[in-house]
Amino acid sequence: MTTSQIENVDQVFAALDNRRIGIGPDSWIAQVFAVYLSSGNVWVQVAPKEHPDESVILQLPRTSTTGQGALALRKWAETPDALRSRRVAATSVRTH
């Protein structure tokens, strides 16, 4: 599911909910609360399972992949707390 563009909410939920984000001791398990599809974007409310009060909104273009979304979440988690936005845009993440 991480190699084709996003088609529906079930695909996004299945690909991101309970997914380990990152590697090693700083990794975390994603808990998806909501997925909304608009004409050009997918909006996902997601949080670390251990800290559901730290939810963010992940914005994915419909032409992106859930893998790019996971990468954006990893980059967000690596950002110092004081600099973190409550919205994560996968459009700014490069996978190569």
| Range of the structural domain that residue 84 is part of | 9-91
Q: Where in 1-96 does DSSP place strands (E)?
A: 20-21, 28-37, 41-48, 56-61, 87-89
Position 4 in a domain: no
Asked if pLDDT for residue 1 goes beyond 70, the answer is: no
pTM of the predicted structure, to 2 decimals: 0.83
Closest by CA to 70, choosing from 37, 36, 28, 39, is: 28
Number of compact structural domains in the chain: 1
Quote the pLDDT of residue 92: 45
Position 26 in a domain: yes
How many whole angstroms separate alpha carbon 61 and alpha carbon 52? 24
**Cβ neighbours of residue 52 closer than 8 Å, sequence gap 6 or more:** 31, 33
Residue predicted with more confidence, 8 or 12? 12
Q: What are the tens digits of pLDDT across the range 74-91? A: 998 888 888 888 888 886
Position 49 in a domain: yes
How many whole angstroms separate alpha carbon 35 and alpha carbon 44? 5
Q: What are the tens digits of pLDDT across the range 27-77? A: 999 999 999 998 889 999 999 999 999 899 999 998 888 889 999 999 988
Position 28 in a domain: yes
Position 3 in a domain: no
